[in-house]
Structure 1
Amino acid sequence: MAIPSPSPRRGLIFVFPAFAAALLLAGCASTGGLAPQEHPIEADSLASSRSLDGPTLSDAAFPARDWWTTLGDPQLDALVREALRDSPSLAAADARLRQAQAQAGLADAARKPTLGASAQETAVQLPETLAPEPLGGDLQASTVLMLNFKWSPDLWGGKRAKYEAAVGQARAAQVDAQAARLTLSSSVARSYVALAQAYEMLDVAQREQARASRLHDLSRQRVDAGIDNQLQLRQSESTIAAAEQQAQAAQQQIDALRNALAALLGKGPDRGLDITRPRLLDAPSPAVPAVLPSELLGHRADVVAARWRVEAASRGIDASKAAFKPSINLNALVGLASAGLSELFSGDALLGFGGPAISLPIFDGGGLRSQLAKSDADYDLAVAGYNQTLVGALHEVTDAVQAARSLDAQIASATQARDAAQSALDIATARYDAGLGTQLDVLAAQRPLLQLEQQLAGLDAQRYAATIDLDSALGGGLVPVGPDAAPHPDTRPDLARAPTP
């Protein structure tokens, strides 16, 4: 009796009941009791109005992308541009971005059908000791051409969630690459300000050396006239030597900072020798936009990157939950097979195989629940990082504003004290020259002047640094795209392949 061939329709009759049974059994692997515990902080809940109260609040815009130009030094502008163009320190951030983009591409590819082709020519000969004729001792050849189709429909959105999680990580890496450029430009600007301070300290030491030399000449005249003895002369020589040591220390600092700038530019130390003395203008008064803190979210690269990581972790939870549900795999193989090339393309050479397969997790030793628990913990970790970054960002803005305010007041007081000390030294020197005062009077008046000049040089450098810190804390002119403004990955297939900034 002939055996009837199976009907494709009859196969489908068995597939649908099996799929329904799989849905009923899906509850055996349960997600119950697993959920993330952390929640992102609302930016406007971080009160800052009183700390930033005063003339610093304004309708001023956020810093421009070339914020360093406000310091007014063309050489600094050129150095920052050179660093952003040539520094190798950006290579790692760009490589991490490309790595994350490739990972997103892999996740996208996993959602799509695959089709492969293969060709195979085989030959086999069985020995007659194992098989009698006609099989044994005869060389049997075969040729096979095949097309292999595979697809696993994303019924529950798990693959899409994995893709969106990878896109979020790629977006975070893209913003990190922008942040690396802000960090580099800030480092160049801070080193440049330190170089300006070192030159100022050299000027202070040279002025002290000139004052000590004038006092030494006056002391020698008085010794030659028999008015003073060798003690006063040796004291003035000691003051000259101390000033020379301070000048040498300042020059060493200048050389070290030139080398540091050359390294930031990605060049050899000889590049630093071409950097001339900075010519910075006055640091601008501190001003922050009145829209803080909520608008800070869209301008700080680290905050935006943290938000993308929270979004990616959220999609990771969705992917882990989808793994608890049944899945369908579609496989089809179509080809041609024959014992010789002459029969390969005949109708009898057609080879075919395929059909749907259903898989369902029932008991897996707790693996799926552990994976979901890990995804929940990853989300909590991302949220904690975001919250900490947001709080730290607002504190950086406040610290920079308050530092600028305080430094302006300190510079004004120190300038007034320096002018008074200079007048006191002029009076003491004139009295000593006229024979009405002693060398001790001059030295006593000279010492606070040196200290105040050194203090002023340090305060000026700190004031410039506060300007740099404020511009950096406000985002450095970057406007990265956050998750809320991003289009859905399904509507933008190239989302994970954004260009390197």
Structure 2
Amino acid sequence: MMQNIWSITGRSIAVSALALALAACQSMRGPEPVVKADIPNSYAANASGTSIAEQGYKDFFSDPRLLQVLDLALENNRDLRVSALNIQKAQQQYQITENNQLPTIGASGSVARQVSPTVNPNNPYSTYQVGLGVTAYELDFWGRVRSLKDNALDNYLATQASRDSTQISLVGQVTEAWLNYAFANAQLKLAEQTLKSQLDAYNLNKKRFDVGIDNELTVRQAQISVETARNDVANYKTQIAQAQNLLNLLVGSPVPNNLLPNQRVSSITNQNVLASGLPSDLLNNRPDVKTAEYQLSAAGANIGVAKAQLFPTISLTGNLGYASRDLSDLFKSGSFLWSVGPSLDVPIFDWGTRRANVKISETDQKIALANYEKSIQSAFRDVNDALATRNNIGDRLSAQRRLVDATNTAYKLSNARFRAGIDNYLTVLDAQRSSYSAEQGLLLLEQANLNNQVELYKALGGGVKANTSDSKVYPASTADMKYHKGQSSQQRAQQPQQ
């Protein structure tokens, strides 16, 4: 009777100890920090409607040549390949930490030749042994192994989000490089037209000089304009070659000529309104923000690892198999053996090293928190900058077009007055330079307008999905899954600041 009581009591103590250990493992990580992004609830120049980041790049961009170039880039770009390989690496690292929660079972076999000084010391004998064994399987009472698994999972998710960031950046870079090639060609054509008109003017002034109507100064002034235009032509040819080289690098292979724009592009999207949505959308649409969130969660898991190391580590070792002095008797009755036993590692004096590791992990979490908050603020700033340009680009374009019309008219009038002998050629040169500069400025501004559309799409987190109908949902971090009972990072960021 007493033996049964002790047996029941022993089991009760064991169950209670296990319950306490499991409760401890839930509290090792500690509470998650409060995120204080400190950003307004709306943008400075907000366009109402669903964020354009929800649109796939195949629906946002309208030029079929550009879409083909983007598909080539997503298939061949080396940075994107490295990102994909990093995901595979992180996935395997997570698999390793998950496997560490299970015992490792291995087969072993041995034969030993030995002499016993007490049993027939003059005759050596052999011992044969085969079996299965579990070596140093850690009983994870304090959640150390589970925290390592959480850390590996968060790092894996962060790597996946980083890959999406690389894709967004690539889509933006390829589009802007493609536009740069188009407008470099447009600038070249403008420079060639200017060179032709300057050559005509030079030839006219040369003839007037030859017959004694004008002096040599007029000829030299016309020659200066010709050589300036020739220099611009050569410069834009260089820019076209460099733009093509950059585009080939980003795409990862030579871009076919039929996909290259040889003149200015008037539009790249069919969207009339570039809606930005709400700042809170950035937490789900910007993968770099998600990366910082996963890294913050991983830092919290590291605290659980460091705190668990303050407590004893209990490991289990066991094996079963057969052993015999004669190989023929190895698997006979009486040769079976087994053993099992725990080992305990109790920290006593480590001069504060383990507690210092806890402090370090807590500091790392504070750093990750600051980085997460900054990533939100940076994303908000990126969108506001793009919207600030978007808000005024229409007025700038209208003013620049009026400037082009005015300078072209002034050039025609000054040229007519010069031919009529009313003004000298210096007036024509000034008017021509103003007209040429205004035309160049208009091309640059048109390119900036298209680049701004790309920048806004990219800043809002667009470019991850190919089609709008595709679904892109980022998995919850381990902090969201375990310590906030389903509350998302977006909901936490929207809480009142404390």
Q: Does TM, normalized by the shorter one, top 0.5?
A: yes
Q: By how many angstroms is 1:96 displaced?
A: 2.2
What secondary structure sits across from 1:148 in the alignment?
Answer: strand
Distance 1:79 1:279, change over 3 A: farther
Task: Write the letter of the residue equivalent to 2:84.
Answer: D
Cα deviations by residue, 1:147-183 (Å, 9 ceiling, x for unpaired): 1125333223332222112101100001111111111
Q: Does the CA contact (< 8 Å) of 1:73 and 1:278 recur in 2? A: no
Distance 1:11 1:144, change over 3 A: farther
Question: Counterpart in 2 of 1:289?
Answer: 276
User: In terms of mean alpha carbon deviation, does 444-453 or 281-290 score higher?
Assistant: 281-290
Distance 1:369 1:18, change over 3 A: farther
Question: Counterpart in 1 of 2:35?
Answer: 40
Q: Does the CA contact (< 8 Å) of 1:36 and 1:380 recur in 2? A: no
2:474 is equivalent to residue 481 of structure 1: yes
Question: Counterpart in 1 of 2:487?
Answer: none
Superposition map of 1:423-438 within 5 A: 423-438=409-424
Distance 1:371 1:447, change over 3 A: same
Distance 1:306 1:192, change over 3 A: same
Question: Counterpart in 2 of 1:496?
Answer: none
Distance 1:48 1:200, change over 3 A: farther
Q: Does the CA contact (< 8 Å) of 1:397 and 1:470 recur in 2? A: yes
Distance 1:401 1:21, change over 3 A: closer
Question: Counterpart in 2 of 1:147?
Answer: 132
Question: Counterpart in 1 of 2:48?
Answer: 57
Question: Counterpart in 2 of 1:66?
Answer: 57
Q: Does the CA contact (< 8 Å) of 2:322 and 2:335 recur in 1? A: yes
Cα distance in 1 for partners of 2:102, 2:263 equals 58
What secondary structure sits across from 1:289 in the alignment?
Answer: coil
What secondary structure sits across from 2:139 in the alignment?
Answer: coil
Superposition map of 1:110-259 within 5 A: 110-124=100-114, 134-136=120-122, 138-150=123-135, 151-259=137-245
Q: By how many angstroms is 1:322 displaced?
A: 2.5
2:360 is equivalent to residue 374 of structure 1: yes
Q: By how many angstroms is 1:139 displaced?
A: 4.1
Q: By how many angstroms is 1:432 displaced?
A: 2.1
2:81 is equivalent to residue 100 of structure 1: no
Question: Counterpart in 2 of 1:4?
Answer: none
Cα distance in 2 for partners of 1:147, 1:35 equals 39
Task: Write the letter of the residue equivalent to 2:35.
Answer: P
Cα distance in 2 for partners of 1:370, 1:86 equals 46
Distance 1:386 1:434, change over 3 A: same
Cα distance in 2 for partners of 1:417, 1:245 equals 24
User: In terms of mean alpha carbon deviation, does 257-266 or 210-219 score higher?
Assistant: 210-219
Question: Counterpart in 1 of 2:432?
Answer: 446
Superposition map of 1:17-36 within 5 A: none
Q: Percent identity?
A: 25
Q: By how many angstroms is 1:408 displaced?
A: 2.2
Distance 1:66 1:18, change over 3 A: closer
Distance 1:424 1:264, change over 3 A: same
Q: What is the aligned counterpart of 1:458 among 429, 444, 460? A: 444
Task: Write the letter of the residue equivalent to 1:371.
Answer: N
Q: What is the aligned counterpart of 1:389 among 375, 382, 394? A: 375
Distance 1:23 1:173, change over 3 A: closer
TM-score (norm 1): 0.83
Please list every run of 5 or more consecutive structure 2 residues that lacks an aligned counterpart in the other structure.
Answer: 21-26, 465-471, 483-498
What secondary structure sits across from 2:45 in the alignment?
Answer: coil
Cα deviations by residue, 1:385-427 (Å, 9 ceiling, x for unpaired): 1111000000000101111222222111111011010011111
Give the superposed CA RMSD: 3.4
